Structure 1
Amino acid sequence: MTMFRQFGAMALGMALVVAGPVHADHAPKDAAHNHAHGHDHDHDHGDAKSVHDGYFDDNQIAARALSDWQGDWQSVYSYLIDGTLDPVMDHKAEHGDKSAQEYRDYYETGYKTDVERIVIEGDTVTFYRDGTPMSGRYDSDGHETLTYAKGNRGVRFIFRKVEGDESAPDYIQFSDHRIAPEKSDHYHLYWGDDRAALLDEVTNWPTYYPSALSADQIVAEMTAH
């Protein structure tokens, strides 16, 4: 098993699921907010915060196309490891119930990945590990609604590989705290070859911001809330 496959299996996120047992949320207390680290989108309707925090009705969910995540994206994991995100962890500690070090440890597990860059063009997704590309073409495979222990929910938008490199994962699943078509400003991506297993991981959710953003801009985004 390559490192890519290993982290593909880890690169999962919030817990399951559709109509069954309620599993623990993957984020700390006030998870939907703390884990969101700084969305910069504004909404004009009153239910925006509740949707963002994971409170919505099923009839608000709508299918999304891969175009919502088009672009060139960078992992934030290296910024956490080299200390760039220390101000973010300090900010979380000031507003949360953990120390800065506890948040740093939590996000080190959450952000961990060996895929430093992802490029999405049309229906093609290219993963870069140590600069080496692995690509696949992906079609929509629907979505799943996840229920967390605190009572809020999330939606995972799923795409299945229809052709491409063998090393590219069979499934990718996006989570960006949105539940209907809208361009994403950052996202958590979960990948692997087992669709169901991807929905049940609770500790690791590699996170990607636009590659055009500088480190300082990412820190500003993450501390915006």
Structure 2
Amino acid sequence: MSVLKFRNGILALLVAVAAFSSGGCGGGGDSDVSMDKWKGSWKSESGYLKDSGMNEAYSAVASHVSGVSSEDVKGAFEAMLYSSIDSIKISGGAAVLISNGGAVSYDYSLVGTTPIPGFDGSVWNKFESEQDGPFKYLIVTEVHSDGPDAMKHWHFRYGASGFDSLVSGDNSLWWPTFVAADTSIEKVAKDMNDEAEAMAQFLSSSPSLSGWDGDWKSFSSYLDDPAMDSAYEAIAAKGKNLTAAEVETALKNMYDSKGVTALSIRGDVITVTSGGGSMAYDYEGRMFAPISGFDGVFWYKFEAPSASDQRYMVMTSVHSDGPDAMKHWHVRFGDAGFSALTDRTDFWYPTFVESSTEVSDIASDFLAEADELAAMITALK
């Protein structure tokens, strides 16, 4: 079970997203569309969000939502608009994508259109490159604006493993956006300010625990079982100078649930089992945050004021790594606030699986992903 594959998608917030910088989210497509429609230089809107010139707009949005601060607003839109592409220059069928890693050029061909879920009459234009890599597949809306004086922009998503995962409702919160390269911070802030009330609808829909309802067992509770030994040995054999003991230690560190052996979720209550005892806490949703290094993947934030060591929880959605793979989700928890969890740079991903999961299921999952796990553990050494 790889933490590198999980995708998320819990909230049906498309109506509010439509109000945010969408203008109908791109409108309909046509059979003649080519990359010439996007010709020119464009900058990711995410690059503007940390500028102090946005603070007034964040406050305007926050003023329409009870219990939400301007910092909450900022964090939410940093998550929704996140892109590892800083800018793009398009000429003909070629796109030069610029990020912190430098510039890379892709030649794209239009391969069709597909409806945007939740937006009747609107489509994604699907472009594919013969070149492999993280931007092989690109889906884009039409260039549009929300009014005569509003800024021109377009939404996009990208990936390496096909169109289905990009179009999927699992990405319903991810709306990377390009604006013209000469767009000023004042223009971006004005656009957000003008849409403040509509954007507040988006932020007022806090996440619910209904997507995690059930009984869950800590992944780490399986890792001492002798039945795991063959999986550790298989992973070590795939790595460079890895031993089975090193594999076991690395995985125990990665999945360490700090003594929490089980979680039972019913409604807004999470019952935490730890140290031989159990305590039930009422949790409230606190929006979401991006997961660093995973484009379009989010932590959902929950807080239980009465809890102690698990007062703050950030959780991925329940997911699996394939049609026959086991369901699971990743979580972090602590008592020092959300930032202490979301900003961690180490590879800490406590994971919970359905309580009926057998150790043989865990071992089989590890064996199926031995190559990937070996590469990851080698890189972490």
- Equivalents in 2 of 1:93, 1:177: separation in Å? 28
The corresponding residue for 1:133 is 103
Within the alignment, does 1:122 sit opposite 2:122 as a pair? no
Q: Give the structure-1-normalised TM-score.
A: 0.65
- Equivalents in 1 of 2:37, 2:73: separation in Å? 29
The match for 1:89 among 55, 58, 64 is 58
Within the alignment, does 1:213 sit opposite 2:183 as a pair? yes
Q: Secondary structure at the match of 2:174?
A: coil
Q: Secondary structure at the match of 1:85?
A: helix
- Equivalents in 2 of 1:214, 1:30: separation in Å? 24
The corresponding residue for 1:46 is none
Q: What are structure 2's unaligned runs of at least 5 residues? A: 145-150, 196-381
Query: Are 2:143 and 2:152, in contact at CA under 8 Å, matched by a contact in 1?
Result: no
What percentage of residue pairs aligned between the two structures are identical? 17
Query: Are 1:53 and 1:177, in contact at CA under 8 Å, matched by a contact in 2?
Result: no
Q: Structure 2: which amino acid aligns with 1:86?
A: N
- Equivalents in 2 of 1:53, 1:71: separation in Å? 20
Q: Which has the larger radius of gyration?
A: 2
Superposed CA offset, 1:192-223 (max 9, x none): 12211111212322221111122223223443
Within the alignment, does 1:158 sit opposite 2:126 as a pair? yes
RMSD (CA atoms): 3.5
Moved over 3 A (4+): 23-27, 93-102, 151-154, 221-225
1:40-189 → structure 2 map (5 Å cutoff): 52=24, 61-63=29-31, 64-94=33-63, 99=68, 100-130=70-100, 132-148=102-118, 154-162=122-130, 164=131, 166-167=132-133, 169-176=135-142, 185-189=152-156
Q: Secondary structure at the match of 1:112?
A: coil
Q: Give the structure-2-normalised TM-score.
A: 0.41
- Equivalents in 2 of 1:176, 1:96: separation in Å? 31
Q: Structure 2: which amino acid aligns with 1:31?
A: V
The match for 2:17 among 31, 47, 57 is 31
Greater CA deviation, 101-110 or 116-125?
101-110
Shift of 1:123: 0.6
Distance 1:173 1:26, change over 3 A: farther
Q: Structure 2: which amino acid aligns with 1:185?
A: K
Query: Are 2:45 and 2:178, in contact at CA under 8 Å, matched by a contact in 1?
Result: yes
Q: Structure 1: which amino acid aligns with 2:128?
A: R
The match for 2:165 among 182, 187, 197 is 197
Distance 1:192 1:105, change over 3 A: same
Query: How many pairs are equivalent?
Result: 181
Shift of 1:93: 3.5
Superposed CA offset, 1:116-173 (max 9, x none): 111111110111112611111111111111332xx756421111113x5x44621101
Greater CA deviation, 152-161 or 72-81?
152-161
- Equivalents in 2 of 1:96, 1:61: separation in Å? 35
